[in-house]
Amino acid sequence: MDDIIRLIRYHAVKNALKYGKAKVGPVVSKIIAEKPVLKDRVKELISDVKRIVEEVNSLDRSSLKDLADELGVVLEKRREEEERTWPPLPNADAYEVIVTRMAPEPNGYPTLGHVKGLLVPFIYARLYKGKFLLRFEDTNPRVEKLEYYDAIRHELGIILEAAEEELGLSPGKWDEEIIESNDIPKMYVYAKKLIEDGNAYVCTCPAVLVRKNRNLGKECEHRKHAPEKNLELWEMMLNGGFREGEAHLRLKTDMCHPNRTMRDPGIFRIVEHP
């Protein structure tokens, strides 16, 4: 029993030195880890631990250190914190300018979760003296509101100003703002080029069938349409010839791709919204 009392006192003193005051729970855990047979006597053990913890916590710092020396208590030395640096970007030397971006969708107010998505690309852009873009992905008019644009600008601006002050990375603001919906006419041009080159097609399969074919790795019957046919259907998509959900433009990839979402993904769809 004396050995158990000594072990309790050892861990209580060690716990007190490490954290300022000993606590019953951690001391009990340490004892049971070393002496599993004491699990059957845990109530008696807790009673002894409480008593000894009270004794230890009543000691002044000098007496506590004397008792630690007597018991042979040794605290692990804390490892000196290594200087933390950002890992280099792979193949960064291959580019004249490093361009990074944050691309929020203005469908709600910014949250704490946006901070990482903001700071990581911002920091890398500044470390490499490149460009950092704020790009609003606003191509779904059903969920986006003007107030969210302003809220995102305001909150992200505050964070970047703080990053400049705390981290010394200047300027603490994005270098360029891009509104994705402004580029939709340009996207239409690229979509037409993909169709003309045979790299995209208009699919009118129901969504259920699209999902089934993706899971099976099966090509859609529309995939084999000639570019001329797809251009005709594409124009119908643009000019109201289809209702929402009746047609979408799909990019030709690999219907056996290990990532099923990459099996001929949809790149344009119809959204009926004023």
Q: Using the predicted structure, report yes or no on whether residue 271 has a pLDDT greater than 80.
A: yes
CA atoms within 13 A on the CB side of 109: 5
- CA-based nearest residue to 108, from 143, 57, 154: 143
Most confident range (mean pLDDT) of 28-32, 72-76, 105-109 is: 105-109
Instruction: Give the model's pLDDT for residue 3.
Output: 84
Three state DSSP letters for 69-102? HHHCCCCCCCCCCCCCCCCCCCCHHHCCCCEEEE
Model confidence band, residue 146 (pLDDT cutoffs 50, 70, 90) = very high
Model confidence band, residue 82 (pLDDT cutoffs 50, 70, 90) = low
Q: Using the predicted structure, report yes or no on whether residue 95 has a pLDDT greater than 70.
A: yes
Q: Using the predicted structure, report yes or no on whether residue 171 has a pLDDT greater than 80.
A: yes
CATH code of the region 93-181: 3.40.50.620
Model confidence band, residue 41 (pLDDT cutoffs 50, 70, 90) = confident
Three state DSSP letters for 160-226? HHHHHHHHCCCCCCCCEEEEHHHHHHHHHHHHHHHHHCCCEEEECCCHHHHHHHHHHCCCCHHHHCC
* pLDDT tens for each residue of 206-245: 999 999 999 999 999 999 999 999 999 999 999 999 999 9
Mean pLDDT computed over 184-198: 97
Model confidence band, residue 75 (pLDDT cutoffs 50, 70, 90) = confident
Contact 225, 201 (CB under 8 A): yes
Homologous superfamily, domain 197-269: Glutamyl-tRNA Synthetase; Domain 3 (3.90.800.10)
Report CA 120 to chain centroid distance, whole Å.
Answer: 10
Model confidence band, residue 77 (pLDDT cutoffs 50, 70, 90) = low
- Quick one: DSSP state of residue 9? H
Give me the residue spans of the domains in the chain.
2-71, 93-181, 197-269
